[in-house]
Amino acid sequence: MKIATYNVNGVNGRLPVLLRWLEATAPDIVCLQELKSPNEKFPVKAINDAGYNALWHGQKQWNGVAILSRNIEINEVGRGLAGDEEDEQSRYIEALVGDILIACIYLPNGNPAPGPKFDYKLKWFERLQDRAAELLALDTPVILAGDFNVMPTELDVYKPERWEKDALFRPEVRNAFKKLVDQGWTDAIRKLYPNAKIYTFYDYFRNAYQRDAGLRIDHFLLSPHLRDNLVAAGVDREVRGWEKTSDHIPVWINLTE
């Protein structure tokens, strides 16, 4: 079974690219982030026509997450994270897809740091840690997938020294990611490729893609049940070269049934 995550950066503006990628790579389950679409404008018909069921949690203009599945029943478990009644940003949705619980995550960017946006990011990370701990206790196979907006280590940044003070790479954020993983999660890409330079994001300008000046910020975290089912993982790097493409690259894993 192939599962993918893709920050589309606008699901409507990027619909041709999304459909082309779905057709070309045929993942069974897909997590999408940055829909930038209110719920009523989510392109459900086009996605259904492409053979996918969909659950989505959008909002006007920004954020937004969705989970798609092909030939697998999908049932929503919940949306949003507990712990902040004021939080109205659509960044989290959870669904049972077949036997696997999928959490689709769009973690806040957090820049500029320090500041209220950075504080919000750290708080959000704590709320995610709380939910992740609950999920581990369920004794269900769980996948946390999405745009975590953190480069976990120096290996995940083209030029680490330039990012030291950035909200995606500050020690507090790297520590938060490490603390999450240390609950018992497996970083799928790093389990299979502990030392490879693998990026999932390239800026639109400064020829970042051509220079390979990238970041690894989109991740798959697997619960212990799935650890030994992981047989392959990778990124669809060529998609970043397509016309009208997102600045992120799809990431995928393959699990044995």
Tell me if residue 212 is catalytic. Answer: no
Q: Which is nearer to DNA, 142 or 198 (CB)?
A: 198
Q: Which residues bind DNA (CB under 7 A)?
A: 7, 9-14, 34, 36-38, 41, 60-62, 108-109, 111-112, 117, 147, 149, 162, 166-168, 201, 203-206, 215, 217, 244, 247-248
Distant-in-sequence, close-in-space partners of 187: CB < 8 Å, separation ≥ 6: 152, 181, 219, 220, 221
Least distance from DNA to the Cβ atom of residue 146, Å: 10
Q: Decide if 147 is catalytic.
A: yes
Rounded CA separation 240/251 (Å): 12
* 217 or 253: CB nearest DNA: 217
CB of 149 to DNA, least distance (A): 5
CB of 86 to DNA, least distance (A): 15
Active-site position among 147, 156, 187, 236: 147
CB of 42 to DNA, least distance (A): 11
Tokens, residue 108:
């806040």
Whether the bond between 141 and the residue before it is cis, its omega within 30 degrees of 0, is: no
CA distance 185 to 136: 9
Q: Choosing from 92, 106, 202, 209, which is the catalytic residue?
A: 106
Output the CA–CA distances (angstroms, integers) from residue 48 to 15, 45, 85, in the order listed: 13, 5, 33
Distance CA 65, CA 54 (A): 11
Active-site residues, by number, are: 106, 147
